[in-house]
Amino acid sequence: MRQWLMGAMAAAFLVALPADAKLKSATMVVDAETGEVLQASNVDTQIYPASLTKMMTLYLLFDDLDSGKIHMSDRIPVSDNAEEQAPSSLGLGSGQTLSVEEAMYGMIVKSANDAAMAAGEFLGGGSETACAERMTRKAHELGMTHTVFRNPNGLPNLEQHTTARDMATLARALMHNHAKEYHYFSTREFTFRGQVIHGHNHLLEWYKGADGLKTGFINASGFNIVTSAKRDDRRLIAVVLGWPTGQSRDHQVAKLLNAGFARNPGSAGVELAELPQQEEADEPAVTTRAVMKAMSKSKAKPKTQVAALRADNSVGDTDDDEEWAVQVGSYGQQAKALQIAQAALIKFGKYGEDGEAKAVLTSKKGSKPTYASRVVGLSKEDAQGACRISKKHHQPCRALNLG
């Protein structure tokens, strides 16, 4: 009887919003590291996110895990409301509990709406509404200005909407701000209460380099996906929203990724997308305008030693007359190395004010050169401060004394 009721509820929820005669669709492909936009179509068209919503629920769980507010083994209570959510589900019953990690697997692999609701209420202090408000605040903090959340699982709500640009921003935020948890998105199956649960993201099974993130569907949205794939040292994010079938959606995202990987980094010639960061008191928000300003600065700034830029008020031994740099990566292509350095320069905030972004040729083995992404022209203190910011976000950084 319970299974029949849940099936009826699923059908009711799926048709609760009127499906458009022609679905709205949107696509976007960006470089995960630099944010370079490689493809874009209808990127600011508002579309129902469906289960892509769970990416933000997971983001908040990762936030609380990293801050120590919660732990993987903590038990999440299942409410009547969570039990009554339409499938997909784990079949949770009111009064039961599941661990934080089980809820994460349930959302990522099964796209379980009951697990997402339980997790959402847990994050919202027992309130679905409080959780949704927190999700929307975080979205806007990350620069997802066209997104509003009304529930933690993506089931139909007329006021819940997002865009391809915002979903790409969220995917990058998950990778950059929660790098140590990102691997969960590549999970294809897990065991829950003795049962092996298989996933919905079939792209992981056949597309070379695919390693996450999330699929979604309700009638009103069509078939959605946000996915990431990595080949060699390059990672791309692709977003496809509003496709008529799951199979056509997967084929479209594979086509877009193939085209993206075929392009040389820096070949798009368009602005870099915002590099999403958690709000930091000593770090300004990174915007497209700011990145472009840094690009202009790095091209026009004369090669001046730091000592010449500052008044010499030192007493005794000091490092003020030494030039320092930070290295944030090495790449086989000069354009990508420069883009990484430019993005890092902005991210460093006050520590990068005297810096200059450069792609420095460090080795050339045969026909394969290696370029280091560096911000040069720094003091020792600024180089160390810049690396503290990078390491806070689990990104590589090495301070170098250039003499």
54, 110, 138, 214: which is the annotated catalytic residue?
54
Could you count the other beta carbons within 10 Å of the beta carbon of residue 159? 9
Q: CA torsion 199→395→392→349, rounded to 10°? A: -130
Q: Is the dihedral of CA 168, 173, 179, 184 positive or negative?
A: negative
Task: Judge whether 314 counts as a catalytic residue.
Answer: no
Cβ atoms 73, 99 nearer than 8 A: yes
Task: Judge whether 127 counts as a catalytic residue.
Answer: no
Cβ atoms 156, 15 nearer than 8 A: no
Q: What residues does 238 pair with on adjacent strands? A: 29, 227
> Could you give the C-alpha distances from 160 to 24, 249, 337, 355, in angstroms and in order?
15, 22, 38, 42
- 360, 362, 329: which is closest to 343 by C-alpha? 329
Task: Judge whether 51 counts as a catalytic residue.
Answer: yes
25, 51, 79, 330: which is the annotated catalytic residue?
51
Sequence-distant (6+) residues with CB within 8 A of 118 are 76, 77, 78, 79, 82, 92, 98, 103
Cβ atoms 61, 123 nearer than 8 A: yes
User: How far is the C-alpha of 24 from the C-alpha of 157, rounded, in Å?
Assistant: 16
Cβ atoms 260, 210 nearer than 8 A: no
25, 111, 228, 373: which is the annotated catalytic residue?
111
Catalytic residues: 51, 54, 111
